[in-house]
Amino acid sequence: MTTTHNPPLDTELEAATTTATEAAVLTTVESLADELDAFSHDLHAHPEVGFYEFRTVRRVAELLARHGVTLETGVGGIPTAFRARAGSDEGPQVVITAEYDALPGVGHGCGHNVIAASSIGAFLALAPLLADGRLPGGVTLLGTPAEEGGGGKELLIQAGAFDGFDASVMVHPGELDAAAFVANAKRQVVATFRGKAAHAAGNPQLGRNALDAAVTAYQAVAQLRQHIVDTDRVHGVFVEGGTRPNIVPERAVLEFFLRSRTVDSILEASPSGSRTRSAGRHLPPGSRSTWSGTASRSTCPTGSTARSPSGSWRTRSRGATSSPSSRTPVSRPARPTSAT
């Protein structure tokens, strides 16, 4: 029979401190549980899409104000990004990120309401311990909008909102327990096809069908799948495809997600010669964040600038980024030579 022991703690004092700290956190969390639960359910009942989480941010501010915490909004020039601080600027600095946007047409299918509640709860449980010196260092609660495709964290990284921290933590609800998991780099490509409208029965010869071009491109991507590496993913939808059958579509839009194991490998599979830019496509008017992105390095029909049989088409793709379902360390993208 083998007997195992926990590793000995350095000192009795450390053991006592750890126990007292944990007890204090647990007590605070217990006292906050009903409030956090109600907050989470309220967000779930009032979903808001990326960059338009205005009601949500008001609710966050109200919740924190009840506990004496002031919320700073507009972090990084994004109206619905927010930040709150506790503790000292000296010592270890930890950022707890909170997500809170929802999926269009679905709502909080990904559980970002739960992320917001759990991150706020963690922050509120730690704040009193940091305030009176029972814990060293500082903790920042950072609200990162538009994680369902807008790249809110990427914009905030570029704005410097993550600078100076020793660690960044967050939990995401899922169907399994995982302290860490391997995930993919993701890139989003929006391809807009431009043709020429005409009456489809009266004078079709004058038109150029943008939808036909989009369909051709979509089929080409589908045929490409046989020849990409097994760990890459390409999946897309038609966002626009015309208005009425009797009008030759002058505009069609496809949106694709590309996923790969690493940022480098996703750049390898990215459009050649396209000017790309990163997160923030749905930023509301007045936002100060600017586009940026990465220059891609190899060939993929998914996003090349090209002539279609019935009109020119061009792409607008975002830089390699991570999402809740696709996290990998992301290098800061270079500025594009110009915007498209």
Looking at residues 192 to 211 of the shown chain, list those that interact with Zn ion (rule: CB under 5 A).
none
- Closest to Zn ion by CB, 146 or 221: 146
Which residue number, 111 or 138, has a Cβ lying nearer to Zn ion? 111
- Closest to 60 in 3D by CA, of 85, 40, 34: 40
> Measured from the CB of residue 154, what is the shortest distance to Zn ion in angstroms?
15
- DSSP lists the bridge partners of residue 141 as 84, 96
Q: Which is nearer to Zn ion, 114 or 217 (CB)?
A: 114
Give least dist CB 172 to Zn ion, A: 6
Q: How far is the CB of 254 from Zn ion (least distance, A)?
A: 23
Cβ 153 to Zn ion shortest distance, Å: 12
Closest approach of Zn ion to the CB of residue 166, in Å: 25
Nearest distance from C-beta of residue 304 to Zn ion, angstroms: 31
Cβ 115 to Zn ion, closest distance in Å? 7
Residue 336 lies near Zn ion (rule: CB under 5 A) = no
Nearest to 37 by CA among 95, 120, 101, 96: 120
Contact 259, 251 (CB under 8 A): no
One-letter amino acid at 142 equals L
**Can residue 43 be called a binding residue for Zn ion (CB under 5 A)?**
no
Angle between helix 112-131 and helix 12-45 axes, rounded to 10 deg = 140
In the complex, the smallest distance separating the C-beta of residue 278 from Zn ion, rounded to whole angstroms, is: 19
Pick 144 or 304: Cβ nearer Zn ion: 144
Residue with smaller CB distance to Zn ion, 47 or 324: 324
- Give yes or no for residue 149 binding Zn ion (CB under 5 A): no
> What is the smallest separation between the CB atom of 112 and Zn ion, expressed in angstroms?
6
157, β-bridge pairs: none
Per CB under 5 A, 152 contacts Zn ion: no
Does 110 help bind Zn ion (rule: CB under 5 A)? yes
Q: Is 129 in the site for Zn ion (CB under 5 A)?
A: no
Q: How far apart are CA 106 and CA 48, in angstroms?
A: 10
Q: State which residue, 147 or 250, has the beta carbon closest to Zn ion.
A: 147
Binding mask 268-307 for Zn ion (x = CB under 5 A): ----------------------------------------
What are the structure tokens assigned to 93, written together?
Answer: 């600095």
Q: Report how far apart, in Å, the C-alpha atoms of 106 and of each of 48, 98, 148, 204, 236 are.
A: 10, 20, 11, 38, 18
Q: Which is nearer to Zn ion, 160 or 174 (CB)?
A: 174
**3 state SS for 117-174:** HHHHHHHHHHHHHHHCCCCCCEEEEEECCCCCCCCHHHHHHHCCCCCCCCEEECCCCC
Q: Choose which of 76, 145, 293, 324 interacts with Zn ion (CB under 5 A).
A: 324
47 binds Zn ion (CB under 5 A): no
Residue 71 — φ and ψ, nearest 5°? -100, 135
What are phi and psi for residue 92, nearest 5 degrees? -65, 140
- Do 276 and 258 form a contact (C-beta atoms < 8 A)? no
Residue (170 or 283) nearer to Zn ion, CB: 170
Q: Give the chain's length.
A: 340
Tell me which stretch binds Zn ion (CB under 5 A): 153-161, 225-233, 283-291, 318-326. 318-326
| In 172-268, beta strands by DSSP E | 185-194, 233-240, 251-260
Binding site for Zn ion (CB under 5 A): 110, 324
